[in-house]
């Protein structure tokens, strides 16, 4: 029985451990946080695929270094980060609560008021490390749409499971799921 999956993005290869997330399913665990090398490689590869836009928008925490690196490559001095809760520094925060279709878990995402104002009427790209069930992406899209932004692309390093068949996202590599045999 396999216990790891070998992922290659451009010139970077990682052996991802398989972890059980239920009695029926293992997933390949891809930890982007701290992996500067794979982020730099993936950002360089995805930058060429992205359409013109005013801002990149991601959600904390795992999307942050990837959004940072892509923003740099696209010559954008800033990107927007949706937080998972209202923070003390925020002014008139915009909050979206989205219930996961698959898990029924409620997810909260928050934009600081000035960031929401900045996005109004702008063309934006949603960016994340992995798109899997699509729940996180849907929550982020609900939030930026409420802020008045137009989503012109949805991008990720990896599309996991069924997400690989979506034609409304841009990604670099597929990440399979590993059902129990």
List residues binding a second copy (CB under 8 A): 17, 19, 21, 29, 31, 33-37, 39-40, 60-61, 64-65, 68-69, 71-72, 76-81, 83, 88-89, 91, 112, 115
Query: Which of 40, 95 has the CB closer to a second copy?
Result: 40
Beta carbon of residue 167, minimum distance to a second copy (angstroms, whole number): 29
Query: Which of 85, 99 has the CB closer to a second copy?
Result: 85
Beta carbon of residue 80, minimum distance to a second copy (angstroms, whole number): 5
Tokens of 88: 């003390």
Tokens of 6: 């070998």
Question: How far apart, in whole angstroms, are the C-alpha atoms of residue 128 and residue 158?
Answer: 9
Looking at the DSSP assignment, which residues form a beta bridge with residue 27? Answer: 19, 177
Tokens of 29: 């665990």
Query: Which of 22, 168 has the CB closer to a second copy?
Result: 22
Question: How far apart, in whole angstroms, are the C-alpha atoms of residue 140 and residue 155?
Answer: 12
Query: Which of 117, 166 has the CB closer to a second copy?
Result: 117
Beta carbon of residue 36, minimum distance to a second copy (angstroms, whole number): 5
Beta carbon of residue 64, minimum distance to a second copy (angstroms, whole number): 5
Cβ atoms within 10 Å, residue 85: 11
Beta carbon of residue 130, minimum distance to a second copy (angstroms, whole number): 11
Query: Which of 65, 134 has the CB closer to a second copy?
Result: 65
Question: How far apart, in whole angstroms, are the C-alpha atoms of residue 113 and residue 95?
Answer: 10
Question: How far apart, in whole angstroms, are the C-alpha atoms of residue 102 and residue 66?
Answer: 26
């Amino acid at each position: 029985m396999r216990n790891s999956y070998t992922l290659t993005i451009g010139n970077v290869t990682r052996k991802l451990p398989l972890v059980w997330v239920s009695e029926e399913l293992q997933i390949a665990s891809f930890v982007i946080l701290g992996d500067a090398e794979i982020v730099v490689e993936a950002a360089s590869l995805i930058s060429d695929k992205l359409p013109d836009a005013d801002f990149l928008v991601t959600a904390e925490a795992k999307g942050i270094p990837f959004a940072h690196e892509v923003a740099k490559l696209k010559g954008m001095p800033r990107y927007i980060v949706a937080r998972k809760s209202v923070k003390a520094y925020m002014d008139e925060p915009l909050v979206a609560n989205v219930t996961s279709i698959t898990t029924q878990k409620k997810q909260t995402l928050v934009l600081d008021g000035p960031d929401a104002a900045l996005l109004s009427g702008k063309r934006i790209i949603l960016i994340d490390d992995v798109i899997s069930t699509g729940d996180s992406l849907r929550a982020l899209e609900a939030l930026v749409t409420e802020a008045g932004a137009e989503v012109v692309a949805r991008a990720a390093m990896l599309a996991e499971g069924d997400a690989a068949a979506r034609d409304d996202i841009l990604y670099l590599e597929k990440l399979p799921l590993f059902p129990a045999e």
